[in-house]
Chain A
Amino acid sequence: MKCFFLKWVLLFGFCNVNALSVAAEELGQNLDSLEVRPSLVNPRLSLPTQLTQVHVISPGEYFAPPLVADIPDDRFGDMVRMGRNIFINTGVYAERYAGNGLNCSSCHLQEGRKPHGIPLWAAYGRYPMYRHKTRTVVTLEERIQDCFIYSMDGIAPTLDAPEMKALVTYTKWLSKGAPVGVDLPGRGLPNVSRTQDLDPTRGKIIYETHCEFCHGKNGKGKKYINGEGYMFPPLWGSESYNKGAGMQRIRTLAKFIKGNMPLGASFSLTDQESLDTAIYIWLQERPKNPKVNWAMDFFFPNMVR
């Protein structure tokens, strides 16, 4: 796996952006439509290009979402573009509801395209679905509301809000051609093995060696030079997700780290390393869980949440 990866990193590192996109387009015409395509258009240009590409490990393995250049020039396309803007720059385009420095694309990497990076195209066909968290069947819209409440630590957009409409439209456009009700390869996050042996001190070392360069000391993240929004999202502190978010579950975070981190070097950390890093991040201070309340603390002090 590692060998594969290194080869591709080297290959991509030598390419420049234009040549790469041309090559990818040519490839797309020749190969099976279920090949993985790079996102080609970078949401924020200051990220190194090779970090935002999807590496074709074996063509046809993952679903290939449409290219950004293929967004139609009509009202539907406008809505898709609005949804994409919100997705990659939530603090600006969904200012009304965003509560912290994260974007949707902070977790749903590469504009929601990356396999094993919680891709939108794999999620669209699975909703409405039963969720253990809420113990109800939730629609995609309701799921997005939860994203805003917990991961964005903000205010849930109402179901009829234009922001909500745009996000769902973007998801739908991104999953053009994806089958419905099928667990697509690359869906969600990769698995990590279960272990009881978690050590935040080891995690701290991994954080300092692997993560701190981008995510900064104290997990503060790194802002763009113009100070608007984060290039690398804050991992804890007031600008990060709150304690009710999915990433606050150690295993989920470990899966995410294993499948996507360090950026451009997915699957480079072992399960154990991922879990140690996850528990180190889990231990840090962050906004409180909006589910936590006095009444339940008072009546059920021992209840595990």
Chain B
Amino acid sequence: MLNREVVKADIVAGVTAGVLILPQAIALATLAGLPPEYGLYTSIFPVMFAALFGSSWHAMSGPNTALSILIAFTIAPYASIASPEWIQYAVTLAFMAGIIQVTLGMLRLGVIFNYFSQTVTIALITGVGIIIIISQLGNFMGVLMNIAEPIEDTLPQVIYGISRANGFAVSVGIVTVLSGLLIKHYYPKLPFLVIAVIVGMLFSAGLELTLGASNVGLDKLGIMSLSALPLSSPDFSPENFAEASQGLLPAAFVIAFLGLIQASLIARAMAIKSGQRIDINQEVLGQGISNLAGSFVSCFPSCSSFNRSASNFESGGRTPLSALISVVALAILVVFAAPLIAHMPISVMAAILLLVGAGLIKKSDIKKTLLEKKENRLIFGLILFTTIYGGVDYAVFLGIVLSVIAYMRNASKPEIELLTGKEAQQYFPQPDSVLSVQDTVTKENLEHYPSSENQYSLLPPKERKYSELSVEIPKQFDHVTVLQISGSLFFGSVLRLEDALTGLRKEDGGKGDLIISGENLQLIDGTGAEVLMREAQSRIKTGARMLLWLRNHNHDAVLQSSGLIKIISEENIYYLKENNSENHQDNVT
């Protein structure tokens, strides 16, 4: 598996990833309200653990935009930004999220994250991008903002803050953003974030040299105090945890879910590109372990990062070795870059976050999902609105609910069609091709149906001629309607059936014959059967008949228990396939 060539490719990809992560690590830590050191720790330890224990060979873990926003908004009411309590809460959150994720992985529940609607994810990420952009405008202008307050309050603050803006900070920020955009556009292969940081810092250094550092008055990041093994531990002691538990506990679930949703999405996307088979539960377990272990080495919650995973794959990474090498590369880079990073202006960092935030708003993805289906527009709008105005956590909960609803609607929406006249004729029972339940060969049946040989026959019933049997064949269909149902007929979807039946009753007064064609019926439950039964009852009372077509015997148990078979009577139920049914096999022997 590991030969010279693969190792070489991994080293190249790993070093690239290590350099790429540096500006993001610092920026995302600040976004989460933590000192920049913690962003670096989070880009080192969880990456290592996720690579070692995860399933995907290309996914790269680390600090994540949505999680960072979520962390900041969760802890903000309970601690002041970047204070020791804030850091403690972030570490505790990582521990709790890790426990939840490990539990999910052990219970092999990772599959559920495959069902999270892609539209919801796109809307969430778009919302996070918008939040990042708005929340960083203050830093961009060199104006102090109340961090982690609702976005509708931040926006007016930004507008009022324009008059207080530091022109030098704004110009440094604009230079950074412009250089990033230009490089992204003209040299898409270069790491535009890293270059944007370098350009922004060079520009600010030039400004300070020409105009004097204290005249320019840029807020700086400050000297980092890094440690090789920054031990920490989650704190659940009552005096520290109790007051915040109300906010942190639900947030831990949201963080765990949001992390896994993104991780599974990334793992699958990478697997599609690379052809690797992903064990989603292993991936969930890996994410959990990375958070759990991270909480003991000063890391805040992390998950796979889409950008870095994609760039890792593109720069040739083939095994988790590239992630491990990126960790080493980052650690070495930090040692040399730390004195320089100390003088990184806050507005450069805000500009980087603006670029990151703008990168999260992927127009092509949004367009695709909006054009795909009508209901996607509603889901997208709802989730986007909730993310921005209610917070990421509410949006995740709503997203889970909407995903389930959308899934139920899509997968189970029965298609109901009414056919009359000539179109309906194909559903009239054809004596040659179809046999009813009664035709299955049993002792009693054989006695009942006199056949020419009058002996047990082991021939498949299909080969027996319908004409030989003395079953009453429905012949006269004058006012017949065919009700074609495909999909699932269950408590959630009977409403449509009832609507169709009511409409039909208005037309024929409930007196015409009715053929229900359920060959494509995937699922029917008691409620669905009952609706059909009521209809059958009322029609049979008026003297009309009701016929039921089914594909096979799979639904017999439901129909039997609901009493539908009794009312329609078995001879009026027709099956397309007799062979596959188990009932049939029993009857033969």
Question: Using a CB–CB distance below 8 Å, which chain A residues touch chain B?
Answer: 82, 95-98, 149-150, 154-162, 165, 244, 289-296
> A95 contacts B219, CB within 8 Å?
no
- Which residue from chain B places its CB closest to the CB of A296 in the assembled complex? B212
Can you identify 25 A-B contacts, CB atoms within 8 angstroms? Answer: A96-B35, A97-B223, A98-B223, A149-B213, A149-B214, A150-B214, A155-B221, A155-B222, A155-B343, A158-B219, A159-B144, A160-B144, A161-B82, A162-B80, A162-B81, A162-B83, A162-B84, A165-B80, A165-B83, A289-B212, A290-B208, A290-B213, A291-B212, A295-B210, A296-B211
- By secondary structure, the A interface counts as loop
A97, A150, A155: most-surrounded residue (chain B CB, <10 A): A155
| Chain B contacts for A296, CB-based, 8 A | 211-212
> B144 contacts A158, CB within 8 Å?
yes
Contact (A96, B223) CB under 8 Å given A160-B81, A165-B80: yes
Interface check B342, CB cutoff 8 A = yes
Question: CA of A156 to CA of B217 in the docked complex: distance in angstroms?
Answer: 9
Which one, A82, A157, A165, A295, contacts B222 given CB within 8 A? A157
Those of B77-94 within 8 Å (CB) of chain A: 80-84
> A155 contacts B220, CB within 8 Å?
yes
> B219 contacts A295, CB within 8 Å?
no
Question: CA of A281 to CA of B343 in the docked complex: distance in angstroms?
Answer: 29
| Chain B contacts for A244, CB-based, 8 A | 214
Question: CA of A110 to CA of B82 in the docked complex: distance in angstroms?
Answer: 29
Kindly count the residue-residue contacts between A and B in the assembled complex, taking CB atoms under 8 Å apart.
64
> A294 contacts B210, CB within 8 Å?
yes
Which one, A97, A157, A291, contacts B214 given CB within 8 A? A291
| Chain B contacts for A159, CB-based, 8 A | 144
> B225 contacts A96, CB within 8 Å?
yes
| Chain B contacts for A95, CB-based, 8 A | 223, 225
| Chain B contacts for A156, CB-based, 8 A | 219-220
A82, A290, A292: most-surrounded residue (chain B CB, <10 A): A290
Question: CA of A162 to CA of B81 in the docked complex: distance in angstroms?
Answer: 7
> A293 contacts B210, CB within 8 Å?
yes
Cβ contacts B218-258/A at 8 Å (1 or 0 each): 01111111000000000000000000000000000000000
Closest 5 CB pairs of A and B: A293-B212, A96-B222, A290-B213, A162-B83, A290-B214
Question: CA of A154 to CA of B35 in the docked complex: distance in angstroms?
Answer: 17
> B224 contacts A96, CB within 8 Å?
yes
Contacts A160-B147, A296-B211 aside, 15 further interface pairs with beta carbons under 8 A come to A95-B225, A96-B222, A96-B224, A96-B225, A149-B213, A150-B214, A161-B82, A162-B81, A165-B80, A290-B213, A291-B212, A292-B212, A293-B210, A294-B210, A295-B211
Interface check B209, CB cutoff 8 A = yes
Looking at the assembled complex, report how far the CB atom of A171 sits from the nearest CB atom of chain B, in whole angstroms.
17
Cβ contacts B122-163/A at 8 Å (1 or 0 each): 000000000000000000000010010000000000000000
